[in-house]
Structure 1
Amino acid sequence: MTLRTTTDKATGVALLTLDRPDRLNAIDLPMAEQLALFWRELRFDDTVRAVVVTGAGERAFCTGLDRDAASAVPQPDSPYAVEDPLLRIGPKSNDCWKPLIAAVNGMACGGAFYLLGESEFLVADPSATFFDPHTTYGMVSAFESILTAQRMPYGEAARMALLGTAERMSARRAHEVGLVSEVTEPGGAVAAALRCAEIVAGYPPAAVEGTVRACWAAREATRAHALAYAPHLISLGNLPADRQTELFAGRRPDGFQVR
């Protein structure tokens, strides 16, 4: 299994761990399916009232869609449709309104924002960094940019998307711009997120889920309208797959600065 879940029945909190540290917790197709199934089943599990999501190991929270998985997904020959296996990896996409808190350790980039964008708030280790590599490799950042633009000021979301791998946003800067609600002591992100989740899980579930739904509704119409453009933008703007592969092969891992 590439997804690990532990539940504390006494507190009603589940800890969901993306467990592919050897691949920087990149999401392959089995993990994407497991995540969607987890949220669908959670709707019927009254013993879990709040969830914390994190990544295994110290290097990364999640680095988005695994490149091997990306090449294995056939795409429709149409500018009006995109087959994206990450569209159902979050709770809201599966009609689950139990609160989700993200504990971010190490790198969080690209498709990680599908999960972060459906989290109620983020808690980060000081080592956490955020970036979006799409433009560097000839891909349109559509779904990711739409989600980040709803979490922080437009200029910061645009800067992250446009600079690609050249720059990473530090945990400190992410806190300054509102992407992250708390930066913990080193190694303390999961514990801090669990403490918050335990408090929330102790409140009446219907009130909590209704509040989550209300907060989501405040931006849902704008998000849905923007997402409707995403398939067209990706179809028109992405380089051919073989050219993307060439750019990935030539990447320089140390060619970035942390802001």
Structure 2
Amino acid sequence: MSALRKAIDKDTGVATLTLDRPARHNAIDLETAGELADAWREFRFDESVRTIVVTGAGDRAFCTGIDRGVDVPQPASPYTIDDPLIAIGPKTNDLWKPVIAAVNGMACGGAFYLIGEAEFVVADEHATFFDPHTTYGMVSAFETIHMAQRMPFGEVARMALMGTAERISARRAHETGLVSELTAPGGALAAATRAAEVIASYPTEAVQGTVRALWSAKEAARSQALAHAPHLIALGNLPPDRQAELFGTRRGGGFRTR
């Protein structure tokens, strides 16, 4: 059974892509990662799709990154790493149609691969953002690079270094520029869809050219930073058994929200 739902409104030109694993807080396993990459590539060639909204099923989580139950074999080289989430975003799959992220509930860890490659973010007031990597002995590289394109340096550093000890509220995320619009609980998807419909109503060439122009403004620095990420992770991560130990001892700890 697919963990990804796709819906296309042919009248408006808006596609909705929903991570549909609410029982797993919409965490991404290997199958879902492949489905995401396939969906972005499918949208590239579908002329009826002009704008996409990406969201998560349920009200508890937008996405909580990689599913902790996934086993990803790694090469022995300390200078490379196989990242199952590397190709889950639209830009990685050469899709330059506008993407809006509608965030409901938790967005953490690998969720930033999706948020980082969206044009902008709409969030429910109860949404929270955090990055658990350092807590469990893992380097936050791709996530921090994506977020450094959207938030002030100090805010990204604090989120990444504080790990699970602190969640950023949707309101704080709005204040720092990560979120462009706040909605009442349950309203993010509708608000994102309204914005997507407006954008989809404009001439396609102008819209996609504008998307490319926006990304070209920061693409050189972003590409150089991402090139360093794999070996930073390979050299800095604790062994999997030690990560698992930390995950077990620190799971369910208290959080502070700001």
Could you tell me the TM-score, scaled by structure 2's length?
0.98
Q: Which residue matches 1:113? A: 112
- 1:229 partner SS: helix
The whole-number CA distance in structure 1 between the counterparts of 2:250 and 2:29 is 21
Q: Does 1:160 align with 2:153?
A: no
Query: Superposition pairs for residues 29-40 of structure 1, below 5 Å?
Result: 29-40=30-41
- 1:168 partner SS: strand
Q: Which residue matches 1:203? A: 202
Equivalent pair of 1:64/1:112 in contact (CA under 8 Å): yes
Aligned length: 257
Query: Superposition pairs for residues 130-149 of structure 1, below 5 Å?
Result: 130-149=129-148
Query: What percent of counterpart residues are identical?
Result: 71
Residues 54-94 of structure 1, C-alpha deviation per residue, up to 9 Å, x if partnerless?
Answer: 1001110000000112xx21111112211001111111101
CA RMSD of aligned residues (A): 0.7
The alpha carbon displacement at 1:185 in A equals: 1.7
Q: Which residue matches 1:26? A: 27
Q: Which residue matches 1:235? A: 234
- 2:138 partner SS: coil
Q: Does 1:216 align with 2:215?
A: yes
Letter in 1 for 2:83: D
Residues 108-150 of structure 1, C-alpha deviation per residue, up to 9 Å, x if partnerless?
Answer: 0000000000000000000100000000000000000000111
Q: Which residue matches 1:99? A: 98
Residues 154-205 of structure 1, C-alpha deviation per residue, up to 9 Å, x if partnerless?
Answer: 0000000000000000000000000000101221100000000000000011
Runs of 4+ in 1 over 4 A off after TM superposition: none
Equivalent pair of 2:74/2:82 in contact (CA under 8 Å): yes
Equivalent pair of 2:40/2:90 in contact (CA under 8 Å): yes
Q: What runs of 5+ residues in structure 1 fail to find an aligned partner? A: none
Query: Superposition pairs for residues 76-91 of structure 1, below 5 Å?
Result: 76-91=75-90
- 2:145 partner SS: helix
Could you tell me the TM-score, scaled by structure 1's length?
0.98
Letter in 2 for 1:152: M
The alpha carbon displacement at 1:228 in A equals: 1.3
Equivalent pair of 1:17/1:54 in contact (CA under 8 Å): yes
Q: Which residue matches 2:4? A: 3
The whole-number CA distance in structure 2 between the counterparts of 1:47 and 1:34 is 20
Equivalent pair of 1:79/1:231 in contact (CA under 8 Å): no
Letter in 2 for 1:199: V
Q: Which residue matches 1:56? A: 57
The alpha carbon displacement at 1:49 in A equals: 0.3
Q: Does 1:169 align with 2:135?
A: no
The alpha carbon displacement at 1:28 in A equals: 0.4
- 2:45 partner SS: coil
The whole-number CA distance in structure 2 between the counterparts of 1:143 and 1:68 is 20
